[in-house]
Structure 1
Amino acid sequence: MSLKHHLTTIAAALALSLGLSSGAQAQDRVALKVVGQPAATGLIQKNKEKPFFDDFAKRTGLPFDADYKSIDSLGIKDTEQLRVMKAGLFDIVSLRVSQNSRDEPTLLGMDLVGAAPDYATARKVYESYSDALDQRLQKQFQVKLLGIWPFGPQILFCKKPIAKLADMAGMKVRVYDQNLAKFIESVGGTPVPLSFTEVHQSLSLGVVDCAITGPSSANSSNWPEVTTHQYALGFQMAMNGYAMSMKSWNRLSPDQKSKMQAAFNTLVDDIWAYSQELTQDAINCNAGKDPCTTGKKFKLVNVPVTDADKETVRKAVASISLPTWAEICDKSNPGCSAAWKKTVGKAIGVQ
C-alpha cells in the first residue's frame, strides 16, 4: 500500500477532517486533534499527558478542547507521526523522537547513545538543541516544536543471565533506532528493531533475548514477566516531545501562542521531574524491593553496573554514535552534525 493511500485510509477511517478552524480567533470552542503516547508506555502518559489534554482549555487558558487519543488506539505506527502531521491529519502530536528519526535524522541528535547518561546532562542537550530542531521540523514537516521531555534512562532487560555488556554477544536485542542498533552491534549483540507494543510477546516467544526501554515503561507493560535480569545502565534518555502543525500554530494570535507555549513549558517541566521519580522507583519495583510506590513488584535480578561498561557507553558518543549519525544526518540535512557540535557538543564537551 502506498504511503498516500495509507494516509488516506487513516483519514477516512478516523474521520480526522477537523483541524483548527478560523474560529480560533473567536471565543468558540475548537476541538484540536491530538495524537498521544502509546497507552502501553505507562504512567507518564496516564498521569501527566492524558490529564493535560483532558483538561486542555483550563490548562492553556484558551477556548480549545483536545480530542486526545493514544497512538496505539488509532492504528497508526509511532514511526509515522511526522508524516501524518505533514498530511494535515492532526493538530498536535506527542512526538516519539527516536522512532521518527528515519524520516528526520536531525531528531536523533537529541538522543545519541551515551550523550546523556543522566537527567542533568539530558536537560543541557535539550536546551542547547531545541531551537535547531524546531527550525528543521518547521521547514521539512511544517510542525512547531513545543517542548521535549525524557522517559528516562533506557536500560537492558534480558531473559538470560548477564553480568556485563559483553555478555550480550550473540544475543538478539530489541532496539528502537539506528543509533542504538549500531552500539549494540559494537558490543556483539544482534539488534532487532521492534515497536514497543511488540516487545512483550517477542520476549515471550524468544524472538529476542533482551530488550531496551525505561524501567517504568517495562514495569507498566509487564516485561519482568518474560525477563529475568535488569541492567540499569542508561544508553539513551528516550526523548519525546510535543509538536503542533504550523497550519494550526499560525492561526493563533500572538497572545494565544504565548499561552499555548507557556502551558506546554509547564507540562514538560512537570514530566521531567516526574520521570526522574519514576525511574528509581521502577528499578526497585522490578527487583521486588522497597520503596516501590508507583509500580508492580516483580523479582528481576538487579545486576550491578560495572564502571567499565559506564565508560564504554560514555566513549560511544565520540567513537560510534556521533560518526554514525553524522553520516546519515548530513546527507539529508547538510550541516546537521556541524550544528550539533556547536550546540550539544559544546554543552557536553564532545566534538
Structure 2
Amino acid sequence: MITKHLRHCLLPLAAALAMTTSVATQADTTYKVIGQPAATGLVQKNKEKPFFDNFAERTGLPINADYKPVDQLGIKDTEQLRIMKAGLFDIVSLRVSQNSRDEPTLLGLDLVGVSPDYATARKVYEAYFDTLDERLQKQFQIKLLGAWPFGPQILFCKKPISELADLKGMKVRVYDQNLAKFIESVGGVPVPLGFTEVHQALSLGVVDCAITGPSSANSSGWPEVTTHQYPLGFQMAVNGYAISMKAWNKLTPEEQGKMLAAFTELTDDIWTYSEELTQDAMNCNAGQEPCVNGKKFNLANVPVSDKDQETLSTAVQAISVPTWAEICDKANPQCSTNWKNTVGKVVGIQ
C-alpha cells in the first residue's frame, strides 16, 4: 500500500519520467545526412562531423542525425542533387562545383577569378544566397541553409612550374566546367577527376598537376606525389548545406528559425576556421613554420607573378562569366541576369 508521503514523492518522479519519455519520443526523428568526403580533411573532421554528431544539442531540436561522409557511402559527390531530389536523404553537405553539371546556377557562387579572397567570397555568397535558394527549392525540392569555403584552390604539380604558361601541354585535374575552360585558355589539358581519385592519378602520371585547397591537399597527402605548389587562387571551393523541403516543411516556424540559426553559427565558424587552415597548410606543405594543424612536407612554394594575377583577373569577364552564362541560361533562362543583378553589383561586373 502506497503511503501518502510516498505518493507525494512518486508524483514528481512520474511527471519527470513522463516528460523524459515525451522528449525521447520526439527525439526519435533522425535525419539521414550526406557529409563532405572524409578525405578532404580538417573542416569535415573538426567542424562538420561534430556538429552532426551533436545535432539535437546544436540545433535545440529533438532531432538526431545519421551522418556519413559521401566517400563512405559509395555515392559520387557529383550525384548529390539527384539523390536529394529522390528523397533518399534529409540534409546534404553540398559539393557546389561538383554538382554544377546538374544545376549550373550553383556555380554562380564560385566562378573562376571572381573571389580572389575570403572577404570578396563572403560578399558574393551573401548577395547570391536568396537567388540560389529559390532555384534549389524549385528544381530539386531542397532549401539552402548556408555555405562556406574550403579556401583558395591552388595548383599542385609534380613537374617544375614557375607560371601559368608552364601548364602548356600538361594534364591538370579540374572539378568543374568553368575551371576546365580557364585551364584550356592557358594551354593546359583539363582532366575532370573526383577528389578521392587524385592522389593515385598524380602518382601514376595520369595528371601532371591538380587543383585543390592547401589544407585538403595536406590532409590527403598530395605533397607526397607532387613537388611544387603555386598559390594562385582560382576559386574558393564553396560548399553548402541544404535540407529537403519535405523535412523542412515538417518543422514549425519556430523550429525552422532554430535550424537556420544553428547552421548560420556553423558556417560562420567554418569561414573563420578555413582562413586559418589555409595559411597554416601553405606553411606545412612547404616545410615552414608555423605549421600547427598539418603534416610537414617539402614542396617548392612558387611566388605568384603579377602577370598571372592579371591573367586570372582578366579571365573573369573574358572567359568565366560568358562561358558559364551560356551554359546556365540554357537550363535557367534568367540565370546570368539574376547573377548580374546580385553578385555582379558586388564585384563590378555587368
Measured against the shorter chain, the TM-score band is over 0.9
Q: Deviations over 1:80-109 (max 9, x none)?
A: 000000000000000000000000000001
| Structure 1 stretches of 4+ moved >2 Å | 26-29
2:293 is matched with which residue?
294
Within 1, Cα distance between the matches of 2:43 and 2:64? Answer: 20
Q: Deviations over 1:35-57 (max 9, x none)?
A: 00000000000000000000000
- Name the amino acid aligned to 1:66: A
| Deviation (angstroms), 1:28 | 3.7
| Deviation (angstroms), 1:314 | 1.1
- Name the amino acid aligned to 1:140: Q
Contact 2:175 2:192 in 1 (8 A): yes
Within 1, Cα distance between the matches of 2:260 and 2:156? Answer: 37
| Deviation (angstroms), 1:29 | 2.9
Within 1, Cα distance between the matches of 2:139 and 2:306? Answer: 41
Within 1, Cα distance between the matches of 2:101 and 2:83? Answer: 15
Contact 2:27 2:64 in 1 (8 A): no
1:9 is matched with which residue?
none
1:3 is matched with which residue?
none
1:65 is matched with which residue?
64
TM norm structure 1:
0.92
Give 3-state SS (helix, strand or coil) of 2:159's partner.
coil
1:265 is matched with which residue?
264
The reply to whether residue 229 of structure 1 matches residue 231 of structure 2 is no
The reply to whether residue 327 of structure 1 matches residue 326 of structure 2 is yes
| Deviation (angstroms), 1:27 | 2.8
Q: Quote the RMSD (CA, aligned, Å).
A: 1.0
Within 2, Cα distance between the matches of 1:238 and 1:118? Answer: 12
1:255 is matched with which residue?
254
Contact 2:96 2:106 in 1 (8 A): yes
Within 1, Cα distance between the matches of 2:85 and 2:317? Answer: 33
TM norm structure 2:
0.93
- Name the amino acid aligned to 1:184: I
1:102 is matched with which residue?
101
The reply to whether residue 111 of structure 1 matches residue 110 of structure 2 is yes
1:242 is matched with which residue?
241
The reply to whether residue 281 of structure 1 matches residue 315 of structure 2 is no
Q: Deviations over 1:277-332 (max 9, x none)?
A: 00000000000000000100000000000011111111111000000000000000
1:142 is matched with which residue?
141
1:303 is matched with which residue?
302
1:314 is matched with which residue?
313
1:130 is matched with which residue?
129
1:209 is matched with which residue?
208
Give 3-state SS (helix, strand or coil) of 1:211's partner.
strand
Unpaired runs of 5+ residues, structure 1, are 1-22
| Deviation (angstroms), 1:335 | 1.2
| Deviation (angstroms), 1:67 | 0.2
Give the alignment of 1:149-228 within 5 angstroms: 149-228=148-227
Within 1, Cα distance between the matches of 2:103 and 2:248? Answer: 21
Q: Deviations over 1:127-185 (max 9, x none)?
A: 00010000000000000000010000000000000000000000000000000000000
1:84 is matched with which residue?
83
Across the two proteins, how many residue pairs are aligned to each other? 328
Within 1, Cα distance between the matches of 2:186 and 2:174? Answer: 14
Within 2, Cα distance between the matches of 1:116 and 1:308? Answer: 18
Q: Percent identity?
A: 77
2:15 is matched with which residue?
none
Within 1, Cα distance between the matches of 2:187 and 2:259? Answer: 46
Moved more, 26-35 or 58-67: 26-35
